[in-house]
Amino acid sequence: MGVTGLASLLDARSRVYREAEFCRSRLVIDGCNLVYLLYFRSGLDQNHGGEYAAFEEETERFIAALRTCGITPYVVLDGGSDQTDKKLETVTQRAEQRIHKAHQAALSGRQENILPQLARYVFRQTLARLEVPVAQCFAEADQEIAALATEWSCPVLSNDSDFYIFNLPAGLLPISHFRWQEATQSGSRSYIPCRRYYASSFCVFFGIQRQLLPTFATLAGNDYVKLKGISWAQFAPAGSERTSRLEGLLCWLRAFQQPQDAIEAALGLMGNLSETSEKEVLQTLYRGMEEYKLGPSTLRKFFIHGVAPLFPAVGEDLALIPPWTRLPLTQARLTSDILDVLLLQRLSLRTAVDHADLPSCNLTSRPLRQLMYGLLLGRGGPQQVVERDRDGLRLTFIPVKPSFSSLTEQISLSSLPEMEPSERLQVLLEALGVTEDSLRLLGPELKLPVAATCYWLQRAEPPPDQRLLKALLLGMSSGERVRTRAALQAERNLSSKANSCIQRADVTHAINQWQACLTDSMKLNQLLGRPLPEPEIARLFQGTLVHQLLLQLSAGRPKRIFRSDRASEKQYDAMLSAVHRFRPPRALLASENQQRAQNQPLENANLRKLFLLHEDEENEALSEIRAQDELRLQDGVFMRTRYRTKDRSNRTNQPELARKEASRGFHIL
C-alpha cells in the first residue's frame, strides 16, 4: 500500500508533526519497511552479494537502542500476495523497475537500492537470536499492524504512507524522523528523539473531516486504486506546484462532510461514464476505502500467548492450507511463498544485481523449487506454478511443472510433519544431489550450505571457476571472525577497493546463482521441518570478502585477510573434500583450462598465505595495511605498487625477518 507523494507533502509541512522524546512503551514495527531502510541507509554494499555481518550488527544496534530506552519492539512482516490481485498492477510495475535498476547497478557500480538476496534472512535470524517478538502475516501486514497498535494504544514505526491514513490513537513514528542513533539520556530516563504524527493533526492542518481521510487516500490513488481522468492540480492554491496534485485534492475535499458525497462528486468530475463504467469505478473506490477499516487484531493472542491466528480464507481455499502450517508461518519459520504456491499457483522470484544479457540466476535452482511445488500441490493438484522472473530486461511469467522424486511420490502436505526425520533428510539430500556420508565431517551449521554448494557446482551455467569456489569456502570457514569489529573494518576497506573497480559480470552472476541455490535450499529445508540446521547467514557469507579473496587468488600472490586457526583449517579441508567428491568433471575441466590460459596455477601455498598466523598483534596490523596497500585493480588486473618494491627491499636488507615471516603458518590452509 502507499499514497504516492504524501510523505513528501508532509515533510514540506513539518508543522503537522510533533517533536517527541519516545521511551518506555511498546512499539509495533513494520518489519519489511525496516529491513530496507536499515540496509540502504547504512551505506552497505549492494552490488557484490551483500555485507551481511555488518547488516546484522546494524540490526543489533537498532534493537539495543530501543531497549536502552525501555521500548519493547514487536515486529510484523508481510506474508503472501493478495488473493484478489487488486495490487497486481502496482506489484508488476515495481518488479519491472527493479529489473532495470539491477541492470544499471551491474553496469555502473552505483547503488540502486536492490536488497541483497539473503538480507531478509539475516534480519529474521538476528531478531530471533535477540529474542525480539516477530509475527509474519498471512497476507499484507498494514491492517494487522494498525489493528494491533490501536488495541495496545502504542505507536507504529514505519515509512509506509498508508499509516498516515489509519486513525492510530498513539500515532505514527516515521522511520525517516526516528533518530535511534541519537538515543539520549536525561537523568534516569533515556529516550529517542523523533517526530510523531497524528491523523487528527493532519485533518486540522488541511481543514478536512477525519472521516474523509480514507476517501482522500483512495481518490489520490494508492497501490490498490489507480483513478484516472481527474486533474486535482486545478484545485491547488497558488505556489504549490511541487505538491499540487495532493494539495488540490485536499482543498477540493474541504467542501464535503461525508465520504459518499465526495465520491459522487468525484464521479461527476470524470465526465460522462457509461452505467457499467460508473459501477466499476464505484466498486473500486469503495473497495479502496475498505482497506483503511480495522477489525480486531489477530496477532495480539499470538504475541501474548503464542496462539497462531486462523487463516482468513473461506471455503475451498481454507482446505488448501494444512493446519500444521499456521504456527510456523506466523513465527516466520516457514516461508510465506508456500501461500502463493498453494492459493495462487504463482511465485515472484527475487531480482539480483546482474547484467541483463545474462540469464536469470534463479534458473539454476529451479529444480529445487519444482520439488517444493510437488510437495505442496501433490500429484492430484494443479499441474503448474507460474514463476515471475526476468528474461533480459523483460518481466516474464513462466509456467513451471511440479516434480516428484521416488521419495516424495506418495507424500502429502498434510502428513509431512509425520514423516520420520531420517526420511525428510533423505528427501532434502537427494534434491541437492549429496549423501549423508559426504557431509559427516562437517559441523552441523555447515552441512546445508555445503550441500547447496555441491548442487550449485553441478547445475550452474557456465561452470564456476575453481578460484571462486575456494574463495567461497575460505569465506565460509572464517565463521565468527568476520563478526569482529576489526575484521568488519578490514572488509569495509577491502570492499571500497572492490567497489571502485570494474565489476566482473561472470563472478557476480556465479555468486548470484550460489545465493539463489542456498535460498531455495533453505526454503525446502524449512518445508521439510529443518532436517538440517539453518545456517547463520551473517557468519557464512560476505559478498565483498569473497570478491576480495577471489581477486587475491587471481593475482597469484594473495595476502592475509584476517587471522586463522586450526578449526578454520579443518573446516576448510572438510568442505573442500565434500564438494570435490560431487564436483562434475565439466566444472573441473573448465577451471583447469581457465587457469592454464591465464598461467596462474592455484597452489595450496597461495591459499595458506590468506590466513597467516601472527603472534604479534602489531605485526598483524602492519601486515594487514601492507596487504591492502599492495593491491590496486586497474581494468581488472592487479598492478604492483611502490609498497611491493619497498617490501622486497626490506626483505633483502633484513633476511632474518623475512625468514621469520615466511615460516609462520604456511601449513594452515
From residue 145, alpha-carbon distances to 30, 352, 465 in Å are 7, 29, 46
Give the confidence band of 481 by pLDDT, cuts at 50, 70, 90: low
Only one residue has cell 529491513, namely: 35
Q: How far apart are CA 98 and CA 109, in angstroms?
A: 15
**pLDDT of 193:** 98
Contacts of residues 383-387 at CB distance under 8 Å and 24 or more positions apart, as own/partner, are 384/345, 385/341, 385/345, 385/346, 385/347, 386/345, 386/346, 386/347, 387/346, 387/347, 387/349, 387/362
**pLDDT at 600 exceeding the cut of 70:** no
Say if CB 196 and CB 20 are below 8 A apart.
Answer: yes
Burial class, 668, CB count within 10 angstroms (exposed 0-12 / middle 13-18 / buried 19+): buried
- Residue 660 pLDDT: 38
Peptide bond into 116 cis (omega under 30): no
pLDDT in tens, 163-199: 999 999 999 999 999 999 999 998 899 999 999 999 9
Among the residues of 479-603, which ranges form H helices?
A: 485-500, 505-527, 543-555, 566-582, 585-598
pLDDT confidence band for 641 (50 / 70 / 90) = very low
> Where residue 273 falls among pLDDT bands split at 50, 70, 90?
confident
* Segment 616-626, tens digit of pLDDT: 333 333 333 33
CA distance 157 to 161: 11
Confidence band for 497, pLDDT divided at 50, 70 and 90: very low
List of residues 6+ apart from 668 with CB closer than 8 A: 564, 568, 569, 608, 611, 612, 613
Task: Tell me the pLDDT band of 564, cut-offs 50, 70 and 90.
Answer: low
Residue 666 has pLDDT above 60, yes or no: no
Please give the average per-residue pLDDT across 587-615, as a whole number.
45
pLDDT at residue number 563:
57
Contacts of 462 (CB under 8 A, 6+ apart): 506, 590
Task: Please say if the pLDDT value at position 376 is more than 80.
Answer: yes
Amino acid at 384: Q
Lowest mean pLDDT, pick from 125-134, 293-302, 355-364, 484-493: 484-493
Per-chain mean pLDDT for the chain: 84
**Which of 11-15, 463-467, 516-520 is the most confident on average?**
516-520
| H/E segment holding residue 27 | strand 25-30
- Residue carrying the nine cell digits 495496545: 152
CB atoms within 10 A of CB 103: 22
Number of separate helices (H) and strands (E) present in the chain: 28, 13
**Cβ(349)–Cβ(340) under 8 Å?**
no
What's the confidence (pLDDT) of residue 360?
A: 97
pLDDT of 86: 74
pLDDT digits (tens, 9 = 90+) for 399-429: 999 999 988 988 899 999 999 999 999 999 9
pTM of the entire predicted model: 0.86
Residue 651 pLDDT greater than 50, yes or no: no
Residue 106 to residues 6, 43, 349, 353, 531, Cα–Cα distance (Å): 31, 17, 18, 6, 36
Contact 501, 555 (CB under 8 A): no
CA distance 613 to 663: 10
pLDDT (tens digit, 9 = 90+) per residue, 35-78? 999 999 999 999 999 999 999 999 999 999 999 999 999 999 99
Which residue would you say has higher pLDDT here, 513 or 281?
513
**In the chain, helix, strand, coil percent, each to 5?**
55, 10, 35
Lowest mean pLDDT among 6-15, 136-145, 219-228, 337-346: 219-228
pLDDT at residue 632 greater than cutoff 50? no
Q: What is the pLDDT of residues 67-105, one digit of tens each?
A: 999 999 999 999 998 877 777 888 899 999 999 999 999
The span from the CA of 560 to the CA of 614, in Å, is 10
All structural domains of the chain, each given as residue ranges with its CATH number in brackets, are 6-271 (3.40.50.1010), 335-414 (no CATH), 419-662 (no CATH)
- Which runs of consecutive H residues, i.e. helices, occur in 258-336? 259-269, 275-290, 300-305, 316-319, 326-330
What is the pLDDT, as a whole number, of residue 296? 95
